[in-house]
Amino acid sequence: MSAVQSQNKSQKKSQNKSESQAALQAEMKAAGIDEVLLGEARAAVEAAGAVLRERYTTHARARNIAEIFEELQANDNAVLPELERRLLAARPGSRWVEDELATGAMPEGEWWIVDPAEGNINHVHGMPEWAVTATLMRDSRPVLTAVHLPLAGDTYTAVAGHGATLDGEPLHVSTKTGLDAALVATGQAQPDEDEETYRRIGESVTALLTAGLVVRVSVPATLQLINVAAGRMEAFWQYSEVRSGLVSGALLVTEAGGVVTDIHGDPWTPARRDFLAAAPGVHRAVSAALAPVK
């Protein structure tokens, strides 16, 4: 290829990228979400992440349960007020979900669901798996999300109907079709789940250890769902409806080409009792493997 041909090819690629970005911005604007709002959400979670990164240590900072909860609350207090101010200002008329552990269906209208330190327990114990998330819900459906991983410097975003990205690069779920080759995961949504939920988690892990390749059990849910959206893992399920841990990941997986339902394959909403997100090629098999767990 000559230098001129190479230059022309590069220019055409740049032009196509610009045209795609312009088309995406036009579609987002038509849906009532513009690039400015997405940028504001991204900036808000990244700013909060910078604060939490300064508070982070690679050693555990609590010696007992009382100190654990003090540290968890201190992390939230360090970033929540500014997150709330910035996001409500970015979307006039939107409202704020106060309880990050809230469950169930949501009222009509637009609401911000935010987890100021998703994986807060990991942060407190000096582990790297934590993030800051912000998701705009419209009539109980996630329509925009931004998830920032401060230690990695990564920011994942998605807008309903317009794809999911990692720092601007498109995300795509796994193309695997065999559950025997699948890496899958689950975890608890919060401390002090009821005994029935713990039983179901245990039985589901046994079922997927038998049917799948490898099962991971860890928290937080959002980081597991990011791996599904990015094609690094094939499925994640959870027996809990805590909204803040699921809505951002649900949108990222859906927009990356994945399938999000309840465990029985019915459409998922925040009111559902359980949750399953998977690559299309293994979704039905995971659902079938979990079906005997009642």
pLDDT band for 23, please (50, 70, 90 cuts): very low
Long-range (24+ apart) CB contacts under 8 A made by 88-97 are 88/112, 89/40, 90/36, 90/37, 90/40, 90/41, 90/44, 91/37, 91/136, 94/136, 97/243, 97/244
Q: What is the pLDDT of residues 197-216, one digit of tens each?
A: 999 999 999 999 999 999 99
pLDDT band for 258, please (50, 70, 90 cuts): very high
pLDDT band for 189, please (50, 70, 90 cuts): confident
Q: Which residue has the higher pLDDT, 103 or 254?
A: 254
- Residue 239's pLDDT is 94
pLDDT band for 243, please (50, 70, 90 cuts): confident
pLDDT band for 267, please (50, 70, 90 cuts): very high
Q: What is the mean pLDDT of the chain?
A: 90
Q: Which amino acid is at 58?
A: T
Specify which residues 156 forms β-bridges with: 147, 166
Q: Is 219 exposed, middle or buried (0-12, 13-18, 19+ CB in 10 A)?
A: buried
